[in-house]
Amino acid sequence: MPDQNPPSSALALAPGAPLAPDRCPVRVYLAGRAPGSRRALYGALRALAETIAGVPLAPELVPWWRLEPAHVEALRAAMVTRYAPATGRRAMAALRGVLRRSVRLGLMDRLAFEAAIDVEPIAGGGTPPGRALEAGELEALLRAARSDQQRALVALAYGAGLRRSELVRLDLVHVELGDRPVVRVRAGKGRRDRDVPLPAGAAAHLERWIATRGTTPGPLFCPVRPFSVRRLSDQWVLDTLRRLARRASVAAFSPHDMRRSYLSALLDLGVDLATVQSLAGHASPTTTARYDRRGERARRDGAARLHVPFPV
């Protein structure tokens, strides 16, 4: 539980009057985030708001655009003291997002924004939770699938490293097959659209599903019996992968573990970090680097390739 000590004097900001939804940076920020992440981000902003006020306070009532570097430094220190590193990083990322929207809404000056966010990132926390799937497990999942749609889901989740929210946002128009198969991933989590090339196997599974689905415009993944172009939810992704895991006798994993497997495999194959970052849609290479699970063996092998002359 967060401690209940009064906030530092550096955080003394009087609550403001509520703004209209289209002028409130908190609401504008959350509206642009993936639906599945909004609750966690709002909770992070609520923790920051309580740190500022010293009492529970709705994030919408905080005049975020008045924060100065000293405020942000004090907030960072509070997050480091009270929460796990991952939770603290989420809170600071949410704060940056709200301040960025404050600039766009004309509530905050760009230079003030740049000064406010110029703080050290919160370190620690090690590698992200979860696990990477082995090639044999992936094959078992595909064999356990009972429909072309299920196989296409597994192939895209692993072969393109898509988040489950990104999978269900895909429309048929976002898929390009042929000599250079690619999926255009719709923007989510505050990122830009990105094109992700598909490996041949994933493209083949996707092509078979589209042949079954038909070319009716609409969501790529949709109900089959009876056929409808209604968009499926990210809960459907979770439920489908869980059923396949049980059927294939594969150890429990989360949908995000498919993404972890994709990123880990690319790094293990020697793909450079900047390229993997671009494919993943990460804003920071630090986030991508946390998926590098090659461990000590990879570090030793990499160091062994370095030539240091030893003249005699």
Residues involved in catalysis: 163, 189, 256, 259, 282, 291
How far is Cα 47 from Cα 24, in angstroms, rounded to an integer?
18
Q: Strand runs (DSSP E) across the chain, as ranges?
A: 175-176, 182-185, 194-197
Handedness of CA 25, 30, 33, 39 (dihedral sign): positive
Number of C-beta neighbours around residue 155 at 10 A: 25
Q: How far is CA 22 from CA 15, 27, 285, in A?
A: 19, 7, 32
Amino acid at 125: G
Q: Strand runs (DSSP E) across 218-264, as ranges?
A: none
Q: Strand runs (DSSP E) across 143-288, as ranges?
A: 175-176, 182-185, 194-197
**Residue 108: both structure tokens together:** 């905050």
Those residues with Cβ within 8 angstroms of residue 150's Cβ, 6 or more apart along the chain or in another chain: 240, 244
Contact yes or no for 174/218 (Cβ under 8 A): no
Alpha-helix residue ranges (DSSP H) falling in 130-187: 135-144, 148-159, 164-169
